[in-house]
Structure 1
Amino acid sequence: MAGKGVKAGHDAIEAFGAPFAGPGEAEWRALVAKVLNGAPFDKLVSKTYDGITFGPLSQRATSTGFRPLRGDRGVWRVMTRIDHADPAEANRQALADLEGGATGLHLVMAGSAGAHGFGLESDAALQTLAGVDLAGAALEIDAGADGARLAAELAAFVERANIDPSRTRIGFGVDPIGAAALTGETPPDAGQLAASLGNLATTVAGPGFHGPLCVADARIVHQAGGSEAQEIAYALSTALAYLRALEAAGLSLERARDMIGFRLAVDADEFFSIGKLRALRTLWAGIESACGLEPKPAHIHAETAWRMMTRRDPWVNVLRATVATFSAAVGGADAISVLPLTQTLGLPDATARRLARNVQLVLLDESNLGRVEDPAAGAGAFEDISAALCAKSWSLFQDIEHGGGIAGALRSGTLKDAIADVQARRAAGIARRQEPITGTSEFASVQEADIKVLTPLSAQDSWKRGNGLAAIRLAEPFEHLRERADAFKRTTGAFPKIFLANLGPVAAFSARATWARNVFEAGGIEALACDGLATPEAAAKAFAQSGARLACICSSDAIYAEQAVACARALKKAGARWIGLAGRPGELEAALREAGISGFAFAGCDAVSTLGEALDHTAAD
């Protein structure tokens, strides 16, 4: 009866809208063509680092195939990150977060993929669980290299507490392949995996624990700068290696499959984060079917991405985390962890932890995101992206398998090289501000209020591993520029300054001056504006009075043709150590450089290089 009611409702809506025929794609394209004004339609089409094209309009999907649903029906588990090295303080945080609305604990061990400079020591990890009801609170373990021992100790802990293992929800997080990928050490071969995981499956998972023993952790690829398809391919190949090892150890395929889960990073790219979760579940179901198994929804633990976090204007991290959490929820994650906004600055305090927890609670309790199993189903854009990711990821997965599986790809370095290639292209886009980072490369402020953390983290991130898949953050190149500017301020008492030599009337310089201010302050260089200057001599005089060491000429192309060369010479004579020009130089480049212009700031330029060169000229005499 319910189904008939829904159909009747749809029919009524279609009947009501029938007289009001909407425009079709042809009409829409005609309107877009007017806006483009001769520019090609491809200007509206984006292309990912996997080569997947993504346009502005997709057709409504009508297929009714496999649905990549959440493993546990209902809402996701709200996980809270526990990474304080003091087990007593970690326990206090865990109990406070559970009381505050979290439904699970994400225990992060020192040296694990998610540690980022902090984490629990494995010999004290169980002390953090004092007073925690493991029959009610879920656990996700970021285990690191010591995962097998920790898993065995945790199972024994549950037994001593007289808790029925079947009532727990523990993701033990054993990931020897991931541990090798992080450190660059030789990954275990098939025989070693079978021996270690087989024994562990008997002693740990045998008593009836619900929750995966092993995890295929694709965060490792994401935080190294990899693409979405590389993440999925890595996760599939790692999971398949664990499936083969557990079967070789004597477990049935069905039992082995149930012992494997996934961990993914979700970032502020809503469309591809949702598509990534859906594609992974779809492809894993295909592997299950190929093994003769009836597909079951894969267990996925999602964490908001380290790669997208910034040290500058960290409050924007709350917005990024909100989009990422929304994406994980809509994509069907079973458990979600949110990095607190100050995670890149140090060990988060209670305020940062509360905000991270409440991001999930608001989306869960007020936005009701857990009420629909697959909200993206049928939406053309999401279905197209999911399908494209499936195709590309499967191709990369097959390449890995043909090359000897994930262990072979790690031993040969082919995976690391492929990820490095993507990251190099990504870094070029960041440097050119084609991938803007709000608060860092865009809309940065040189005047930032301090924000508290329990234990500061060095800006140099000295804990990073050199030989494995080292974690990066996209904002780092601009943050390094800001660190140089901060060092200048500590020495001189003020930030480095650049004088914006605005030539002509306001209409001539306003747009470029505003744009230039945005660029230079992204490098920690304070921009000093002025009213319109009528002559190069006036610009030189105003520069000398400003106290700046750097200058940038801002105006229209017409005024550049008349005054830019003379203005550059006048500024150089007045003592400017570095002179830039806002805009492309065109045919004037040779004359401008000869007159003293050192760099050109325009949309698409290498802003990191330009800013670095400008800072080079701020050094004290």
Structure 2
Amino acid sequence: MTSTAPSDLPYLDAFAAASHDAWRAAVDKVLKGADFEKRLVGRSADGIRIEPLYPAASEPARALRAEAGRWHVAARLDHPLAEAARALALADLEGGADTLSISFAGAPAAHGYGLAADDVATLDAALHGVMLDLVQLRLDPAPQGRINALLLAALVEKRGHAPGGLSISFGLDPIGVFASRGSLSAPWPELGRRLAATIRTLKERGYAGPFVEADSRPYHEAGASEGQELGAVMATAVAYLRALEAQGMSLAEARDAIGFTLVADTDAFLTVAKLRAARLIWNRIQQACGLTPEPARIHAETAWRALTRRDPHVNLLRGTVAAFAAGIGGADSIAVQPFTAALGLADAFARRVARNTQLILLEESNLWRVADPAAGAGGFEALTQALCEKGWHAFQAIEREPGGEPGGIVAALAEGRLQQTLAAQRAARTKAIATRREPITGTSEFPNLREEAVAVLDVAPVGPDLRHSQGSLAERNQSELIRCFVGGAGRAEALAAPAAALRAPALPSLRLAAPFEALRDKADAQPRRPAVFLATLGPIADFTARAGFARNLFEAGGLAAPSGDGFARDGTTDLDALVGAFRASGAKLACLCGSDAAYAEEGAAAAEALVRAGATVWLAGRPGESEAALNKAGVASFIFAGCDAIETLTQAQAIANT
């Protein structure tokens, strides 16, 4: 913290240099005896300490992109119908996007939608008017990813483009699909052979790749911490290195075939550190392989699990924070989830807002003008190093899976061990969400019962393609398949024969807000919104804090909890007025709200009066020494900060709906 070097700003030398001890003394004075660790030190899901203050980094670890400058703005082509998909895609490109992520039907990232294109003609119609040589194209990992890649290559050939002049990421990720769906279409060695054959075919035609994608989204959506996400995605990349090397590729050639997709979440500091750590870990893996490190190619997408269906406009803030962090963290391209994505397929307005989020960060905030802007910042460097260690530990744990075929992450998934690890992490986060230690604005905190509906497209979800019969062209090599696709052949004709394949429990794709949303949906389905009567004690200044807490909690479960000016009279509570208001409300659940002094003086009497009037009585706050007396008077439960809100609201709905 202290420095003896001359200041670049000489007038600052007139002030005493700051020191950590002086800062800590000032903090302790403000805390007035409160626990420093509990008040000011946080912990990430991996247990990493989040300090309130960090010293300057002495030797920053540089995690640079291959090319400095603007990141690419990506939009998803995921409407099932070709013409509608085309219109949305052209609007995105005309509005500032320069990358299209094509999600075929069945792609996990499409979340029930996706382009239904089984032949080149349909794909051509979806991309009609899109100049393939002026944009970047990405294929989202999906079942039958090999066929999707060959269909796109056939479209390029049909249009007469030189593949070497195009920028296409082919998104082949059988491991990610295995994690999402719980099955592989063929034994792992056979999939490695097909993967290598597809890459060779595409490279022979002039494509530069990347061809394979190590995608962290399945693990993130299943509840992974930042370290677990890094471990899984690096283990996936190493599995592809091994598989391609086994098929005769050099390690350098295999390395160059791989790209990465990482999730940008709403914790900006951890997201920046995670992307930087990913680059450093990948460099270390390359060094261990005897390679001269090349920068990882990283595509970032804002977190699906962070999206909410309730008060969805708050998703605009989540997307902005995540996109900001991904840009600062050094993503090569970024996709922002439309703010209505959790409700259905986004319309043109939601897509425009999503891309404009990035354009503002690029054009008005100028985030792209500094390469690795987090370098040297003490907090970011410390978190980056900590995540490198956590990610490396998680990677090694996966790599310690039994040797032989398949080993590594494929074995970790097939044996269910990785699923168990993520389930434990998911349970811990679920508890933190339920107790609101991790609040969700607009859902678990500050809910809005009068929110306005938002528009989504009226499109039915598309079911996954479950066909498994062998097509007539299945035995053709990849180049012949491309020619057949150009000639009009369809997907079904190229399907390979069914084979005995690995099975595993599929990873769930979850959103953190879902438990609260289920309660809201249940409340909304009632003929009359369930309500809680807030039985306020004493003057308004005494009950406002706890009444606000109670209303916030109950409305998170869809229960109305109106509060007025109270029932104070001559310094006490008019119990007759309070009971009369309860009866008039029609509620069955009453919650006492007041100060500790009011609870001690009037709580028991108020509870008894409300019980006689037919109420189930709860109390806002911890009971302390008055618990026995309050219970005896009829208080059935207590609500307080840190209680299990999901369980509490479930019980409240059951009482209110009787």
- TM above 0.5: yes
Q: 2: CA distance between counterparts of 1:189 and 1:60? A: 51
Residue pair 1:376, 1:383 contacting (<8 A) in 2 also: yes
The corresponding residue for 1:7 is none
Q: 2: CA distance between counterparts of 1:614 and 1:303? A: 37
Q: Deviations over 1:264-313 (max 9, x none)?
A: 11111001111111111100011111111111111111101100000000
The corresponding residue for 1:522 is 556
Aligned pairs for 1:249-260 (under 5 A) are 249-260=247-258
Q: Which amino acid aligns with 2:153?
A: A
Q: 2:428 aligns with which of 413, 422, 425?
A: 425
The corresponding residue for 1:84 is 79
Q: Quick one: structure 1 residues 14 and 457, their matched pair in 2 at CA, closer, same or farther if it must change by over 3 Å?
A: farther
Q: 1: CA distance between counterparts of 2:216 and 2:74? A: 18
| Length-normalised TM-score, structure 2 | 0.88
Residue pair 1:321, 1:339 contacting (<8 A) in 2 also: yes
The corresponding residue for 1:167 is 165
Residue pair 1:78, 1:337 contacting (<8 A) in 2 also: yes
The corresponding residue for 1:596 is 634
Q: Deviations over 1:323-369 (max 9, x none)?
A: 00001101111111111010011111111111001001100111111
Q: Which amino acid aligns with 2:132?
A: L
3-state SS, counterpart of residue 317 of structure 1: helix
3-state SS, counterpart of residue 136 of structure 1: coil
1:208 deviates by: 2.7
3-state SS, counterpart of residue 532 of structure 2: strand
Q: 1: CA distance between counterparts of 2:635 and 2:579? A: 14
Q: 1: CA distance between counterparts of 2:357 and 2:453? A: 22
Q: 2: CA distance between counterparts of 1:28 and 1:211? A: 52
Residue pair 1:584, 1:600 contacting (<8 A) in 2 also: yes
Q: Quick one: structure 1 residues 397 and 566, their matched pair in 2 at CA, closer, same or farther if it must change by over 3 Å?
A: same
Deviates more, 1:34-43 or 1:300-309: 34-43
Q: Which amino acid aligns with 2:622?
A: R
Q: Which amino acid aligns with 1:148?
A: R
Q: 1:436 aligns with which of 436, 439, 456?
A: 439
1:549 deviates by: 2.5
Q: Quick one: structure 1 residues 244 and 584, their matched pair in 2 at CA, closer, same or farther if it must change by over 3 Å?
A: same
Q: 2: CA distance between counterparts of 1:64 and 1:605? A: 42
Residue pair 2:60, 2:375 contacting (<8 A) in 1 also: no
> Is the aligned partner of 1:285 residue 2:283?
yes
Q: Which amino acid aligns with 1:593?
A: N
Q: Quick one: structure 1 residues 362 and 311, their matched pair in 2 at CA, closer, same or farther if it must change by over 3 Å?
A: same
Q: 1:153 aligns with which of 147, 151, 154?
A: 151
Q: 1:363 aligns with which of 351, 361, 364?
A: 361
The corresponding residue for 1:263 is 261
The corresponding residue for 1:536 is 575
Q: 2: CA distance between counterparts of 1:562 and 1:125? A: 74
The corresponding residue for 1:4 is none
Deviates more, 1:18-27 or 1:601-610: 18-27
> Is the aligned partner of 1:572 residue 2:567?
no
Q: 1:192 aligns with which of 168, 190, 193?
A: 190
The corresponding residue for 2:42 is 46
Question: Structure 1 stretches (4+) deviating beyond 4 angstroms?
Answer: 186-190
Q: Quick one: structure 1 residues 274 and 462, their matched pair in 2 at CA, closer, same or farther if it must change by over 3 Å?
A: same
Deviates more, 1:578-587 or 1:512-521: 578-587
Q: Deviations over 1:413-459 (max 9, x none)?
A: 1111111111111011111111111111111111111111112789x
Residue pair 2:607, 2:635 contacting (<8 A) in 1 also: yes
3-state SS, counterpart of residue 356 of structure 1: helix
The corresponding residue for 1:69 is 64
Aligned pairs for 1:120-519 (under 5 A) are 120-123=115-118, 124-186=122-184, 190-403=188-401, 404-455=407-458, 467-488=505-526, 491-492=527-528, 495-519=529-553
The corresponding residue for 1:109 is 104
3-state SS, counterpart of residue 336 of structure 1: strand
| Length-normalised TM-score, structure 1 | 0.93
Q: 1: CA distance between counterparts of 2:636 and 2:523? A: 19
1:558 deviates by: 1.3
Q: 1: CA distance between counterparts of 2:459 and 2:631? A: 44
Q: 1: CA distance between counterparts of 2:460 and 2:531? A: 28
Q: 2: CA distance between counterparts of 1:78 and 1:27? A: 45
1:111 deviates by: 2.0
Q: 1: CA distance between counterparts of 2:634 and 2:605? A: 10
Q: Which amino acid aligns with 2:439?
A: P
Q: 2: CA distance between counterparts of 1:411 and 1:136? A: 41
Q: 2: CA distance between counterparts of 1:186 and 1:411? A: 10
1:380 deviates by: 0.6
Residue pair 1:205, 1:213 contacting (<8 A) in 2 also: no
> Is the aligned partner of 1:551 residue 2:547?
no
Residue pair 1:536, 1:563 contacting (<8 A) in 2 also: no
> Is the aligned partner of 1:605 residue 2:643?
yes
Q: Which amino acid aligns with 1:55?
A: E
Q: 2: CA distance between counterparts of 1:112 and 1:597? A: 51
Residue pair 1:341, 1:352 contacting (<8 A) in 2 also: yes
Q: Which amino acid aligns with 1:389?
A: L
Residue pair 1:81, 1:338 contacting (<8 A) in 2 also: no
Q: Which amino acid aligns with 1:480?
A: A
Q: 2: CA distance between counterparts of 1:382 and 1:187? A: 42
Residue pair 2:214, 2:234 contacting (<8 A) in 1 also: yes
Q: 1: CA distance between counterparts of 2:235 and 2:29? A: 47
Residue pair 1:220, 1:469 contacting (<8 A) in 2 also: yes
Residue pair 1:312, 1:439 contacting (<8 A) in 2 also: yes
1:140 deviates by: 1.4
Gaps of 5+ in 1: 1-9
The corresponding residue for 1:3 is none
> Is the aligned partner of 1:37 residue 2:75?
no
